[in-house]
Amino acid sequence: MALDSGSVTGLEHDLVTQLLLARGVAPDDVDRHRNPSLRAFLPDPSLLRDMDAAAERLAQAVLAREQVTIYGDYDVDGATSAALLIRLLRDLGLDPRAYIPDRLLEGYGPSGEALVRLGREGSSLIVTVDCGAMAFEALGMARDAGIDVVVVDHHKCAAELPPALALVNPNRLDESDEAAAHGNLAAVGVAFLLAVATVRVLRQRGLFAARGEPDLFALLDLVALGTVADVASLHGLNRALVAQGLKIMARRENTGLAALIDASRLTRAPTCSDLGFALGPRINAGGRVGEASLGVRLLTTGDSDEARDIAARLSALNEERRAIEAEVQEAAEAQLAAQHNRAVLTLAGRGWHPGVIGIVAGRIKEKTGKPALVIALDADEAGNGKGSGRSISGVDLGAAIIAAREHGLLLAGGGHAMAAGLTVAPGAVDALGEWLDERLGAAVARAAANQAMLLDLSIAPGGLVPSLVEAMESAGPFGVGWPAPRVAVGPVRLVKADVVGTDHLRLIVRGQDGASFKAIAFRAANSEMGQTLLRTAPQRRLWLAGRAKIDDWGNRPAAELHLEDAAFAD
């Protein structure tokens, strides 16, 4: 039955409650999660170890007008973390520098040579963001040179910590249970907590007696972008940060983000999906195949002309990245058959561009359902391989990579549960693959055994209407750890099945109630499901499962299904 507008409020309340409960929210905590606010979810930043020391040092730099450099990683989380602290320090009267290492020439993480050079050029305080948790040698060099370094990170830590003035990371092994509960924060979320703590110290020191305080809420658009693009789990505080950040982003107050939205050809306020698939990849393109500093420059500029120019460059680089990625993916997939019995796929090749290996690893992980490492051999002057890995839910790849480094199989490596990076000698790739397969085989088998498509709702075709989609969307934001609702719709019969675009399957189906709708399965035309549906006779009845979305291309918005699975009804 179609829903009239008067019934939406009651439907939304009941449906959202069920969606929240299905995602693990306790019955007495539903109201807090229904409208996730910072007031309800933001912890006292001081619960994280070293947070007070980091905030005190940053506040001291503000009051003494020191030269501060923000040393960021070259991905979206690093760019947004750096931009957040730069914008904060500018509001507080400083002119901070940004340093983003070149992926190919310098690699991941702080370089000791770069830290010492920045100190010689006048920076008395360096804050590393989204990197540094395992940078023992580099931070040792900075310490010996008399440079204060504060590390703001979220990657896995070892039991021993590098010699930083302060190391703020909810994934420190010595954190309290309360602090460790925020281990799903992206680095930009940790940076936001540092911003809150720093402003609190400056408030106590009387800085704002004669001037206004920085608007920390205005920084939440950066937090949302970095959190979603880094595939952080949208539980707890992350959900509140992203929900509020999307509202800030819709205001288009950040000049660079507004230009990026325009360059992405978005004509409405961005959603979580847009952050992950439209905005994030463009920021990443600068670090992958272009100039690493472009993302931070875009996110910190107030010049609309400069913002448009940088956004256009990033869009062009993103197209270049797509072409390079396709070549590497084809070469990597050619190795899959030889590893079909492996629990962890370790794929390596010479000449592969290190800037796209993480994306390719993610694609292969999605295609195979297994953790995947993609290694670009001879990626540095010494001929070592640079690798990037992506994991599946329930398999902690970051911890395994750290263990492999401690075992002597890697020259460098680290990460978090779902993603990791590494440097490996060319002759050690096979041994690494065998070691990971043995270490993670049982976990991958358990994860595979627990795989199931969980459905939130089963409806007749006539129930797939825009008002239902809008009601379900109000339980968002959706992302990793907080999946968008899946619905099963049926029974239906095929009216039309064809291939559109690049390997996309499009269906027009009709139900017994006379209602028809469109379903589309992206990059699935050549899959087993796609080929089966293309050959299915019109008289066969089907159940379709996937995500309900609104198609607003026509004169009247219509609901459609983004298809993920199908089954014969008889």
> What are phi and psi for residue 363, nearest 5 degrees?
-60, -45
The yes-or-no verdict on residue 11 having pLDDT over 70 is: no
For residue range 431-463, list pLDDT tens digits in order: 999 999 999 999 999 998 887 888 999 999 999
The pLDDT of residue 52: 98
The pLDDT of residue 379: 65
The pLDDT of residue 355: 86
For residue range 119-155, list pLDDT tens digits in order: 999 999 999 999 999 999 999 999 999 999 999 999 9
Q: How many CB atoms lie within 10 A of CB 527?
A: 14
The pLDDT of residue 163: 96
The yes-or-no verdict on residue 367 having pLDDT over 50 is: yes
293's CB contacts (< 8 A; 6+ apart) are 98, 100, 286
CATH classification code of 5-32+453-568: 2.40.50.140
Please compute the mean of the pLDDT values over residues 226-238 and round it to a whole number: 93
The yes-or-no verdict on residue 10 having pLDDT over 60 is: no
Name the residue with tokens 């009051």.
63
Task: Lowest mean pLDDT of 98-107, 279-288, 296-305, name the range.
Answer: 98-107
The pLDDT of residue 565: 95
The pLDDT of residue 7: 41
The pLDDT of residue 83: 98
The pLDDT of residue 266: 93
The yes-or-no verdict on residue 6 having pLDDT over 60 is: no
CATH classification code of 42-316: 3.90.1640.30
Bridge partners of 506? Answer: 498, 520
> Does 383 or 144 have the greater pLDDT score?
144
- 179 three-state secondary structure: helix
Query: Which amino acid would we find at residue 178?
Result: E
pLDDT band per the 50, 70, 90 thresholds, residue 382: confident
Name the residue with tokens 């589309």.
520
Q: How many CB atoms lie within 10 A of CB 443?
A: 19
Q: Which of 132, 152, 187 is nearest to 49 (CA)?
A: 152
The pLDDT of residue 192: 98
* Average predicted confidence (pLDDT) for the chain: 92
Cα angle for residues 83, 268, 516 (degrees, 5° grid) = 135
For residue range 541-567, list pLDDT tens digits in order: 999 999 999 987 767 889 999 999 999
CATH class given for the domain over 334-449: alpha beta
The yes-or-no verdict on residue 3 having pLDDT over 50 is: no
pLDDT band per the 50, 70, 90 thresholds, residue 104: low
The yes-or-no verdict on residue 268 having pLDDT over 60 is: yes
Q: How far is 395 from 390, CA to CA, in rounded Å?
A: 10
The yes-or-no verdict on residue 107 having pLDDT over 80 is: no
- 539 three-state secondary structure: coil
Q: Where in the chain is the domain with CATH 3.10.310.30?
A: 334-449
The yes-or-no verdict on residue 1 having pLDDT over 60 is: no
Please compute the mean of the pLDDT values over residues 461-478 and round it to a whole number: 93
Q: Where in the chain is the domain with CATH 2.40.50.140?
A: 5-32+453-568
Cβ contact 63:205 at 8 Å: yes
Please compute the mean of the pLDDT values over residues 459-469 and round it to a whole number: 95
Most confident of 50-64, 402-416, 463-477: 50-64
Residue 563: both structure tokens together: 């298809």
Listing DSSP states for 216-239 in one string gives GGGGHHHHHHHHHHTT---SHHHH
The yes-or-no verdict on residue 279 having pLDDT over 50 is: yes
The runs of H, that is alpha helices, within 42-186 are 51-64, 76-91, 112-120, 136-144, 177-180
The yes-or-no verdict on residue 374 having pLDDT over 60 is: yes
Query: Which amino acid would we find at residue 445?
Result: A
The pLDDT of residue 2: 38
Give the max Cα distance, the chain.
Answer: 78
Q: Which of 561, 553, 557 is nearest to 533 (CA)?
A: 561
The yes-or-no verdict on residue 400 having pLDDT over 70 is: yes
For residue range 296-338, list pLDDT tens digits in order: 999 999 999 999 999 999 999 999 999 999 999 999 999 999 9
pLDDT band per the 50, 70, 90 thresholds, residue 5: very low
Please compute the mean of the pLDDT values over residues 258-281 and round it to a whole number: 94
Q: Where in the chain is the domain with CATH 3.90.1640.30?
A: 42-316
Q: How many CB atoms lie within 10 A of CB 393?
A: 12
The yes-or-no verdict on residue 343 having pLDDT over 50 is: yes
